[in-house]
Amino acid sequence: ANPAMHELGWFYNQKELSSQAELGIYINNSTLLIEKAKRTHSGSYQCWAVNEFGKGWSEEVNLNVQYPPECVVGQRMFYGVYGTKHLNVVCELDANPQHIQFEWSFNGTNTDNLSLIQFSNQNTKSVAVYQWKESNNYSIIYCFGKNRIGIQNEPCTFIIMPATLPEIPQNCSIENIDARSARVNCTPAFDGGLPQSFHLEVYNEINGNRKLWRNLTSNQQPYFELNNLSDANVTLNFIVYSSNAKGRSANFTINGNTLQAFKWRKETSESSENTETEREESRYSFNYQCKHVSLSSPSQGDEHFSKQQMHSKLLYDCDIVSSDLHRGRHK
């Protein structure tokens, strides 16, 4: 610049960039240093400078950080088998470049229950078709991949098990309740290893007569919005439950009066309204040397197995010491 610049800075993806040591970013006048570049550093970089005649910008420079495959967080980990002998298990990986070679394997636990028929790949996703044999045991399978940058460090872990009923939705609450509107929001519980749907039934009670007023279903989340509820001073009953191909969960019930929103009362019911039929519940439990994992209350985190622990060992050296399938009948 002529005359010399008296101010200089940097942009990252069109936003002002400053030194952030915790992120490995250091700026020293016209020099930008990125230590141990990660995928989060990928993007567009540009510097700017100011002299007495004005402000100018450099051309943008794009940084593309490449990395080996990793498991996509939040994908289905538990697969329940019910009414079919063939099971499609989906494995999704995050990688750059996205051309991935996939491999599937067993961990050596109860492998007689399951056999791999075929698998197909498309970019960062692989779908394996397994044949399940009648059994009350579980099986653990792994998916991992590699690209030209390297091999996946931790394989994705999937647990195949006999399907169970879904568990009752948790932490249900009514938000913004008044005489005319409400939002019902719950936290999904374990789906029994099968895709689940969520249901809301709203009953109103006038002069001792109880009637079903609304019946809503959501295939995504246990979240429901209601308008034009009822006139004031009417007793309402909100019943939330989940269902899968095997059956329905118990009820989560909230009772109250539209004039007393602050007194809404939550209950957990073990059966649907006026139902005396028996239903069977199953709970599959895994005991590890370092902790207890229950399939009915699975963690949503990354429960992945390393390659060095491919034989009945969890990450952090947790050995499987026992497994059990608990069944009970209720009225």
Query: What is the domain partition of the chain in residue ranges?
Result: 7-65, 68-162, 170-275
Residue 73: the pLDDT is 92
Q: Report the pLDDT value the prediction gives residue 163, as an integer from 0 to 100.
A: 86
Residues written for the chain? 331
CATH architecture of 170-275: Sandwich (2.60)
Tokens standing for residue 272: 């649907």
Task: Please determine whether the domains at 68-162 and 170-275 fall in the same fold group of CATH.
Answer: yes
The model carries a pTM of 0.63
Instruction: Name residue 86's amino acid.
Output: H
Strand intervals (E) in 219-264? 223-226, 235-244, 247-248, 251-257
Q: Which residues pair with 80 in a beta bridge?
A: 161
61 φψ region: left (φ > 0), alpha (ψ -120 to 50), beta (else): beta
Query: What is the pLDDT at residue 321?
Result: 36
Which pair of tokens denotes residue 53?
Answer: 């005649």
In tens digits, what is the pLDDT along the chain, a chain of 331 residues?
678 888 889 999 989 998 988 888 999 888 999 998 888 899 999 999 998 888 888 999 999 999 999 999 989 898 888 877 788 899 999 999 999 999 998 765 545 556 777 888 988 999 998 887 766 677 888 999 999 999 999 999 998 888 889 999 998 888 766 666 778 889 999 998 889 999 999 888 777 788 888 899 999 899 998 877 656 567 778 899 999 998 999 999 887 666 554 445 455 554 444 333 333 333 433 333 323 233 333 333 333 333 333 333 333 233 333 334 443 333 3
7-65 topology per CATH:
Immunoglobulin-like (2.60.40)
pLDDT the model gives residue 179 = 60
Residue 264 is predicted with a pLDDT of 52
- Report the 10 Å Cβ neighbour count for 224: 21
Q: What's residue 49's pLDDT?
A: 92
Q: What's residue 23's pLDDT?
A: 87
Distance between CA atoms of 156 and 287, rounded to whole angstroms? 20
Question: Residue 204: its pLDDT value, please?
Answer: 82
Distances (CA, A) of 236 to 156, 197, 239, 267: 45, 23, 10, 13
Give the class (CATH, top level) of 68-162. mainly beta
Q: Which of 69, 132, 53 minimizes the C-alpha distance to 102?
A: 69
Strand spans (E) along 169-234: 170-175, 182-187, 197-206, 209-218, 223-226
